[in-house]
Amino acid sequence: MISEPFLPYFKTLGAVLVISTAASGCQPVSEQTTAPLPPASNVLSYPDSRTEAVYDEYFGERVRDPYRWLEDDRSEETGAWVKAQNALTQDYLGQIPYRASIANRVERLLNYERVSAPFVEGDYTYFYRNNGLQNQDVLYRQRGGETAEVFIDPNSFSEDGTTSMAGLRFSRDGSMLAYELSEGGSDWRSIHILDAATGSPIDQALKDVKFSSIAWVGQEGFYYSSYDRPDGSVLSALTDTHKLYFHRVGSAQADDELVFGGAEEERHRYVSARVTEDDRYVLISAANTTTGNKLFLIDLAEPAGTLITVVADEESDTRLVDNRAGDLFLYTNRDAPNGRVVVVNAQEPTPVRWRDFIPEREQVLSVSTGAGYFFANYMVDALSRVEQINDRGRKVRDIILPDLVTASGFGGKREQKTLYFNFTNYRIPSSIYALDAGNGEVDLYRESNSSFASDSYESRQVFYESKDGTRVPMIITHRSDLVRDGTAPTLLYAYGGFNASIRPRFSSTVATWLELGGVYAVPNIRGGGEYGKAWHDAGTQQQKQNVFDDFIAAAEFLFDERYTSPSKLAIRGGSNGGLLIGAVMTQRPDIAQVALPAVGVMDMLRYHKFTSGAGWSYDYGTADDNEAMFRYLLAYSPLHNLRVGERYPATLVTTADHDDRVVPAHSFKFAAELQRSQGGIAPTLIRIETDAGHGSGMPIGKLIELYADVYGFTLYNMGYERLAE
């Protein structure tokens, strides 16, 4: 989880496929809580999910955990259960008459070239390219006007495309690079080092790397982070000591220097390093949760390598932005909930010496650097406003952007003249622009090749009131000719946690839904970072119910404004958003026709006992903290609030067997209990992807299959018998 949301996969799609009950002959869905379904759905026989008398005691109360055995992902019994559940799910999905049609359309619409913004390393310009249906993007390079050549092709790493390149960093002069590999979507990775000139490997790959940055010091070597790998199940909790190492090129991993994490006072769950552009300082971030960090500094010019404390507590988030002439520029939300940039001399870097460089504003700030400038990207109701700032902290110019977009990029080396950025939203495919940082001229560098007909759609930002009167923004996207009569199939998506801001971006899978005639609505609910630290904190621990209330109020707004109705609404979220869907469907089972919780955190009493779960306690609290926290978690934990005999929405739970972040046991246990509890005729199924993880690096083939299943299941259970051609 590590504060990153499980977002839709950002590829681009196009073509025309519209659902129309009038034109296509689809049977209307009745306005009941659960719509009539095809006969096959009434005779589902679910695999046996045996229960056992397992109890945990919390503050004098015994809580049963009847599916504890499903936590053993390596047992034959769990394996047989997974196989049986997948067989049932695939048999059901196979009866959907247009499932293959959706898959074929997605595949066809994905088949166009996608190219990233370029970046310069050494003598070469590098960029990523996908010819359309490649499972993984390929890294190309070219020198001057020479023809571009393939440099690294991750598609060659595995036959099925499930091994992905998860991160890459070049040495300062561009002569070497280190890149991470993830197998099957796992967070456990290996680091491979290449000679950039020849592409030949240097050293043996570094093993057992997890949640790591790669921070080079010149050409000498780089910092990376990892844990002592636990023995046994993928579910095993990680140690609370994340260790920072320095690897010298040409040496064995066994000889790597332990830089931070060896002493008792250095025990933290998350440790990472960044090195200043002049190779003078290394900044070490250390944290125990996904919010707030300590910050330390080592002056690499000093032989002793003394660790200097910059920030001694975890009450704020602080990170390196840049350094110049002995001064450090730091982004922080310390005493500035919406963020600011401060400057301080590296010899006395503590907060009492900080001076504002870019002061806090009403809008949330993020910042990047390139071409000798700072770029302040302000979030205004989840949308972008960008200012170029010089090295004296003065605004040079505004970067002109269209309304309702997310702008990103603006980063690069100090000596660069040209920087690149893109802008996008839910209906506009991302295009790349070149910015001359000296004179502010902006030119189109590469237009998207997507055939999606953006002009036929519109995005509108609205504001609605949540249960307690809080004003919440939401962006609603749909065909421009939509008739608001309450009958449009609608997908309501949100995240609501970990300070993650859900900003409008084009997604090929979302574009597919829009072209199917659907409405796509995304509320920026509390728990996220759209309005700074206060907005995040308002959705954490014993205020978590605000997140669910905000989402429920979004659905009610869509009903009141006649966008859709409960029989035409599907609710979806992943990871922390999967928890959101699990909580909402147990609190308000009448609110939607279809529920789509993906890789969700469903057992709120035990989440912190698996892999990296203990690091999520800032957002959730734990059942071990105190009785009040236990009772609050128990009151909304999706697994513990399913009621036997309740009529729940048609539900497709999705997870993956290699997810070592939100372990699949959450989804396994929830699906088993939901199947036991369902009192209506709506199907409650689980789809368990093999050789996949929490979402990153998923190959195109698996992506196509996933969305054919998700959209097919959704429309089928809204009563659509066929789709308009």
Which DSSP string corresponds to 134-165? -SSPEEEEE-TTSPPEEEE-GGGS-TTS-EEE
Q: In this structure, what token pair is assigned to residue 594?
A: 């279809």
Predicted confidence band of residue 232 (pLDDT cuts 50, 70, 90): low
Over residues 32-52, mean pLDDT: 65
pLDDT at residue 105 greater than cutoff 90: no
Over residues 463-467, mean pLDDT: 98
Q: Which residue has the higher pLDDT, 306 or 24?
A: 306
Residue-wise pLDDT tens digits, 403-434: 678 889 999 999 999 999 998 899 988 899 99
Q: Give the pLDDT confidence score for residue 662 in this predicted structure.
A: 81
Over residues 583-605, mean pLDDT: 97
pLDDT at residue 29 greater than cutoff 70: no
Predicted confidence band of residue 240 (pLDDT cuts 50, 70, 90): confident
Q: Give the pLDDT confidence score for residue 167 in this predicted structure.
A: 86
Q: Give the pLDDT confidence score for residue 508 in this predicted structure.
A: 86
Predicted confidence band of residue 73 (pLDDT cuts 50, 70, 90): confident
Residue-wise pLDDT tens digits, 473-491: 999 999 999 999 999 999 9
Predicted confidence band of residue 194 (pLDDT cuts 50, 70, 90): very high
Q: In this structure, what token pair is assigned to residue 516?
A: 């199917």
Q: Is 68 helix (H, G, I), strand (E, B) or coil?
A: helix
Going by C-alpha positions, the residue among 657, 699, 703 that lies closest to residue 85 is: 657
Q: What percentage of the chain reaches a pLDDT higher than 90?
A: 77
**Which CATH architecture describes the domain 21-108+458-716?**
3-Layer(aba) Sandwich (3.40)
Query: Is the separation of the CB atoms in 343 and 323 below 8 Å?
Result: no
Q: Give the pLDDT confidence score for residue 39 in this predicted structure.
A: 38
Over residues 203-210, mean pLDDT: 92
Q: Which residue has the higher pLDDT, 155 or 451?
A: 155
Predicted confidence band of residue 16 (pLDDT cuts 50, 70, 90): very low
Over residues 489-512, mean pLDDT: 94
Instruction: Kindly provide the b/e burial profile for residues 380-393, where b requires at least 16 CB atoms within 10 angstroms of the residue's own CB.
Output: eebbbebbbbebee
Q: Give the pLDDT confidence score for residue 1 in this predicted structure.
A: 32
Q: Give the pLDDT confidence score for residue 657 in this predicted structure.
A: 77
Q: Give the pLDDT confidence score for residue 697 in this predicted structure.
A: 62
CA distance 490 to 93: 20
Q: Give the pLDDT confidence score for residue 20 in this predicted structure.
A: 31
pLDDT at residue 592 greater than cutoff 60: yes
Over residues 557-564, mean pLDDT: 98
Number of neighbouring beta carbons within 10 Å of residue 356: 12
CA distance 654 to 47: 17
Going by C-alpha positions, the residue among 560, 559, 501 that lies closest to residue 535 is: 501
Q: In this structure, what token pair is assigned to residue 397?
A: 């110019």
**Among 272, 316, 575, 637, the one annotated catalytic:** 575
Number of neighbouring beta carbons within 10 Å of residue 544: 26
Q: Which residue has the higher pLDDT, 183 or 196?
A: 196
Residue 430 has what DSSP assignment? Answer: -
Query: Is the separation of the CB atoms in 539 and 546 below 8 Å?
Result: yes
Told to judge if 694 belongs to the known catalytic residues of this protein, a careful annotator would answer yes
Residue 201 has what DSSP assignment? Answer: B
Give the per-residue SS3 of 631-651.
HHHHHHCHHHHCCCCCCCCEE
Q: What angle do CA 34, 39, 489 make, to 5 degrees?
A: 40
Rounded to the nearest integer, the mean pLDDT of the chain is 90
Over residues 238-246, mean pLDDT: 88
**Among 192, 268, 666, 694, the one annotated catalytic:** 694
Over residues 599-626, mean pLDDT: 95
The pTM assigned to this predicted structure is 0.91
Predicted confidence band of residue 722 (pLDDT cuts 50, 70, 90): confident
Going by C-alpha positions, the residue among 212, 291, 216, 288 that lies closest to residue 244 is: 212
pLDDT at residue 537 greater than cutoff 90: yes
Q: Which residue has the higher pLDDT, 43 or 78?
A: 78
Q: Is 370 helix (H, G, I), strand (E, B) or coil?
A: strand
Over residues 295-311, mean pLDDT: 94
Predicted confidence band of residue 109 (pLDDT cuts 50, 70, 90): confident
Q: Give the pLDDT confidence score for residue 311 in this predicted structure.
A: 98
Number of neighbouring beta carbons within 10 Å of residue 249: 16
Predicted confidence band of residue 261 (pLDDT cuts 50, 70, 90): very high
Number of neighbouring beta carbons within 10 Å of residue 460: 11
What are residue 57's DSSP bridge partners? 62
Q: Give the pLDDT confidence score for residue 40 in this predicted structure.
A: 41
Query: Is the separation of the CB atoms in 647 and 591 below 8 Å?
Result: no
Of 133-137, 625-629, 682-686, 720-724, where does mean pLDDT reach its minimum?
A: 720-724
Residue-wise pLDDT tens digits, 432-457: 999 999 999 999 999 999 888 999 99
Over residues 180-197, mean pLDDT: 90
Give the phi and the psi of residue 695 in degrees, each rounded to 5.
Answer: 140, -35
Of 1-15, 136-150, 183-197, 510-524, where does mean pLDDT reach its minimum?
A: 1-15
Query: Is the separation of the CB atoms in 15 and 515 below 8 Å?
Result: yes
Q: Give the pLDDT confidence score for residue 237 in this predicted structure.
A: 74
Q: Give the pLDDT confidence score for residue 146 in this predicted structure.
A: 93
